[in-house]
Every structure is written in structure tokens, then in C-alpha cells.
Chain A
Amino acid sequence: MNKNNGVENVKSPGEFTCRVSEQLSLAPDYYLLSLEAPELARAASPGEFAMLRCGEGYDNFLRRPMSIHQVDRSKGQVDILYQVRGKGTNWLSKRASGDLLPLLGPLGHGYTCSGPAGKGLLIGAGVGVAPLLFLASELAARQWKLVILMGARSKAGILRPDAYMEYGEVKTATEDGSVGMQGTILDLAANELENSTFDMIFSCGSLPVLRGVQELSRQKGIPAELSLDERMACGVGACVGCVCQGADGSYLKVCQDGPVFSAGEVILND
């Protein structure tokens, strides 16, 4: 089908019912969900997401947007790394191998991977590291040199550091100092940018972290891309429920114009 009726930049998501191949608890409230989703694995790019059904019947009526953590195209597998934040994600965390899960994807505008290879700084706060593994694998395959910063309150929140080490140098910060540098992800990022230079920053995390990254990007004159997290209804740009403020004051659709924006494109209000 893929009929865009003359409108450009329209994604071609599909609706799929995927089988859960495995679900692992990484730490309290953090889960790694593996799905048999060959079409999604094939079509997805780093920074894109899927809308997952997260309840029975009409419970948790809206689907949850989940960034794509990693794909294995040869196995047709898609991994989702997420944090339990409410009823929907709690329901999702109870899914087991063999369960079927409807999802819509891939969706959104992801990270820019197509430019010339360079040195990249990846900044992921908490579960914000989720889309950065797929990104790191894609950039590493394109000969980028990567430093990957992971931050959390404590060691338990540093998710799958070993997986990231395959693609670059991993540095961590925890607020309680239980692993890595004691401090916030922004402290760690400021240190790193003090000592080295980069061609590009890629980030995902909470609003305060993204605002900090935006500021660092401006100070250092290094372009940055930020992935925003927002409640959504349709996920495809139809309902205009998930907006953020654009630099020109107009509202941008997080699901369609984003979730990845360049740092200068958005104003990050509370």
C-alpha cells in the first residue's frame, strides 16, 4: 500500500500482532522485552518508536509509545527497554514468552545517522538510554567513534552497560556514587565536553536533562539531537494530542515531527 497521496515525509507504519519471545527484569521496575517483529525490525531506524497495547479490554485505553531499544534484523527481533511508571507499563511487565501484543510502528522521526562519520557523544539519563543502543550500533557500523554516557540515581538504574560497551567507550555517573562518577548525568556530560571535542551529541532523557543538554550544545557549539518523551494517543500525527513548543512558537507534534528534534528546534517548557 504505502500510499502517501502526494504528501511527503509520511512514514509507513504498520499494525502487527507480535509474539513475546522473552521478558527480563533488569532491576526493580526496569524490563527488557523481546518481541518477534520481523517487519518492524526491518523497517525501524534509531530513535523511532512503536505504540504498544498495554491492557486487556478497554483498560489502559491508549497505547504506550515505546522507543526501539535494539533490533536484530536476522532474527526478526525487536527489543524494548522500559520502566514501569503506571498501570499500563505494569501490565506490560507481566507479559511472558508466547503472549501476543498488538503494536503500531515504526513511528516518528528518529536520530540522524546518515551524515559523515565523526565523533559522537551519546547522553542517556535513566531509562532514556533505551533508544541509544540501537543508535550506537547503527553509528558504530557507520564508523563513528562514540562515547556513551549513562546516568542514574544509583547502580541499579545503569541499564545494560555491557551492551553499550560493544559500540563505544561507556562512562557512568550515579547520584549516590554507587558506580562511576558521583554526580548527575549533566555533571558527567559537562566534564566530558570540558576534556574532549565532539561532532555531534545525541540524547534522550527527562526534560531537565534535555534542557541541560540543550544548554551544553549551545555553549560548546556542538549540534545536538534530543528525544522527547510525551503521552500520545494516535502516534501517527492525526490527533495532535502530543505537542511541544517549537522555537518559532508554534506547536510541533512529538509523534510525527519528533520524537527526536535538533536542540535548536524546540523550547523545552515544564
Chain B
Amino acid sequence: MTDLTVHFAGITMKNPVMSASGTFGSGVEYASVFDVSRMGALVTKGLTKEPTAGNKPPRICETPAGLLNAVGLQNPGVEVFIRELLPGMLEFGVPVIANIAGRTKDDFVFMAERFSNTGVAGLELNISCPNVKTGGMALGTVPDVAAGVVKAVVQGTDLPVIVKLTPNVTDIRELAAAVADAGADALSLINTLVGMVIDVDERKPVLDNCVGGLSGPAIRPVGVRAVWEVSQAVDLPVIGMGGIANGTDALEYIMAGASAVAVGSAFFHDPLAAVKIIDQIDEYCTEQGVDKLQDLVGAAWKGNNGRR
């Protein structure tokens, strides 16, 4: 029996597999499809202070080994979420992490405070959404600005603060270092890559928003590289995500330096992806004689490749 437990930033997960924000609703949608309580943790859809209508459709477009989305953070707002959706999510008995997406620093601070004593295990700051006109990625591409948001949130909350970073920057290590200095407890890498698809019959972009965030197996090598770079440069636990669709993919991220991983677009390809990934990680560890999964974190760059 391999020990798959993950402890990071004060959060304990029985295995390293979480849901990625925005791909798993509030978990209830999948409750009849598989045993959601098997997940290591659940991450909410990106939440805003006020209800957000989201972008005009079309919002999604399939791409080679992935998809583009420009949902635009449609959500009922933090109050309705806490009242109507969070209780059902908590009932799965696994840590719930609230993904909050402010338009301004003050929005972030407000929502972080609002989540105190609600039962959530932590906050994921979404300063990396590519699909909104204010906030989102605009707050997450300049190190000083990102650090300012993180600093303000950390001061106002006791909850662990995970910062989700965008890969749409020249050097993701600079951002990671800035938010680490500002007091972040952990990092989520990566949000989607900005992309576009054009319909050649219509001679215009497929998405009404023109651009969207690319996710799915197509972006996995970009995410693995980001985790590799950041986990060696910054002394914070990292949650790796971007195109994870099977156990091998998850292990790549872990060996690149991720303490935990999140599954997102893979749910659309195979709703059972997350539980299969948990089982496949376990099988790999058993076959390889790994006692503790955490021994593999960063194995690809650590001395002796994580072997004892």
C-alpha cells in the first residue's frame, strides 16, 4: 500500500488528485457518474463578488487534443454560491478550495474574508483568467501587481492562499517569486494558454469572445515545463495542472515538482478520468516499490531521481 497522502499549506488530501476550477461544477453534477468522495480535493468554479453573466456564446471550440473556452466566469456570485452550492460540495467529505476571481484587489480581499468559517479548506486566487475584461489575467501578468493582490488577501484571511498563475508571460518564475514573497502558501500551475480558432467558411473567429483559453492534453508539456521551472526556483508547494488525462500525465507533473495535481478538461473526454488517474498512480507506485508518493515530487530534478 502506497501512501498517497498530500499535506500542503495546512491542507491534507488523501490522494493528490483534485478537480480543476471551472470543469467540475460543484461536484454534484458528477455524483451519479462516479464516487466524488474519492477525489483528493475539489476546487470550485471561479467565483466573483457579484453574479456574473459570462460571455456570449459560442463559448467553446474543440481543438487538436483539447479545447478553447471563453466562458467568462459565469457564476451566481459568492453569496449564492455559499448559501446554495457550497453545502452540497462539502458533503462529499473532501477538502473544498474556493477559486475566487476578483475584478479588483478589494474584490479579492472581500471574498477571502467572506469565505472565513464557511468550511472551505483554502482559497485559490484566480489572477490568470484570460476571458474577462477586468481583473483575471490583467492582475496576474505583472509581478508587482500580482504581489499586491496576494499581500492584501493574505493579511485578511487565515485560510491557506493558493495562487493560480498564467503561463501567458515571458518568465513565470518572476511571477512565482513575487507572489511567494507576498505570502502565498502554494501555487497552481497553469491556467489556460490564450488561443484562437477561425472558421474559414464564416471568415471570423469561432468564439464570440474571439480568443479563449486553451486546455487539454495539447498544453501538458507547457504545464510540466512551468512546474519544473517554478518548483526549483521557489520554495512553495505546487499544484500541477494542464492536460492531465491519465496516471502517467499526473506522474510527469509530480516528478516535475508538483505536490498535487488537478484534472480538468479530461472530464469532458472521460468523466471517469480522475478516479482512473488515482488508481493508475497507485498502480505505478506499487509496481515501482514507492512507499510514499511524496518521495516522487521533483524526482526529475532531484539527486538520485527520487530513489532512496
- List chain A positions with a Cβ less than 8 A from chain B: 1-7, 10-15, 53, 58-63, 102, 104, 230-234, 236-244, 249-251, 256
Q: Which 6 pairs from chain A and chain B are nearest by CB?
A: A238-B25, A5-B88, A12-B32, A241-B60, A58-B65, A236-B29
A11 touches B67 (CB 8 A): no
Q: Are A242 and B267 in contact, CB atoms less than 8 angstroms apart?
A: no
Determine if B54 and A14 form an interchain contact, defined as CB atoms under 8 angstroms apart: no
Cβ contacts A to B, 7 pairs, < 8 Å: A2-B32, A5-B28, A58-B66, A104-B33, A240-B22, A241-B71, A251-B57
Q: A11 CA to B33 CA in the complex, in Å?
A: 10
B69: CB under 8 A from chain A? yes
* B171 in contact (CB, < 8 A): no
The interface-forming segment of B142-150, B162-170, B175-183, B268-276 is: B268-276
- Assuming the contacts A13-B32, A234-B29, asked whether A241 and B59 have C-beta atoms less than 8 A apart, the reply is yes
Chain B: how many interface residues by the 8 Å CB criterion? 49
Known A3-B32, A61-B269, A243-B74; judge A237-B25 contact (CB<8 A): yes
Tell me, in angstroms, the Cα distance from A60 to B66 when the chains sit together.
8
> Which single member of B30, B62, B64 contacts A238 (CB below 8 Å)?
B30
* Contact in complex: B74, A240 (CB < 8 Å): yes
Give residues 69-85 of B contacting A (CB, 8 Å): 69, 71, 74, 84-85
Query: DSSP class of B's interface residues: helix, strand, loop or mixed?
Result: loop
Number of residue pairs across A and B with beta carbons under 8 Å? Answer: 136
* Chain B, range 247-277, C-beta contacts under 8 Å to A: 265, 267-272
In the complex, how many angstroms separate the beta carbon of B132 from the nearest chain A beta carbon? 14
For A236, list chain B residues within 8 Å (CB). Answer: 25, 29-30, 33, 271
- CB-nearest residue of chain A relative to B92? A5
Question: A242–B265 contact, CB under 8 A?
Answer: no
Given the complex of chains A and B, what is the CA–CA distance between A243 and B31 in angstroms?
22
Q: How many angstroms between the C-alpha atoms of A230 and B61 in the bound complex?
A: 11
Q: Would you give the shortest CB distance from B37 to chain A, in whole angstroms? A: 9
Q: Mark B80-101, 1 if CB is under 8 A from A, else 0.
A: 0000110111011000000000
**List of B residues within 8 angstroms of A251 by Cβ:** 53-54, 57, 74
Contact assessment for A15 and B271 in the assembled complex, using a CB-CB cutoff below 8 Å: yes
Q: Which residues of A contact B242 (CB under 8 A)?
A: none
Residue from A2, A59, A60, A231 in contact with B58 in the complex, judged by beta carbons closer than 8 Å: A231
Cα–Cα, bound, A59→B269 (Å): 10
Rounded to whole angstroms, the CA-CA distance of A128 and B66 in the bound complex is: 28
Contacts of B28 in A (CB 8 A): 4-5, 7, 10
Q: Chain B contacts of A102 at CB under 8 A?
A: 270
Contact B31 A4 (CB under 8 A): yes
Q: Which residues of chain A come closer than 8 Å to B74, judged between CB atoms?
A: 240, 243, 251
Tell me which residues across on chain A come within 8 A of B67, comparing CB atoms. Answer: 61-62, 233
Residues of B within 8 A of A240 (CB): 22, 45, 54, 59, 71, 74
State whether B60 touches A242 (Cβ < 8 A).
yes
Contacts of A60 in B (CB 8 A): 62
Q: How far is the CB of A266 from chain B (nearest CB, A)?
A: 12
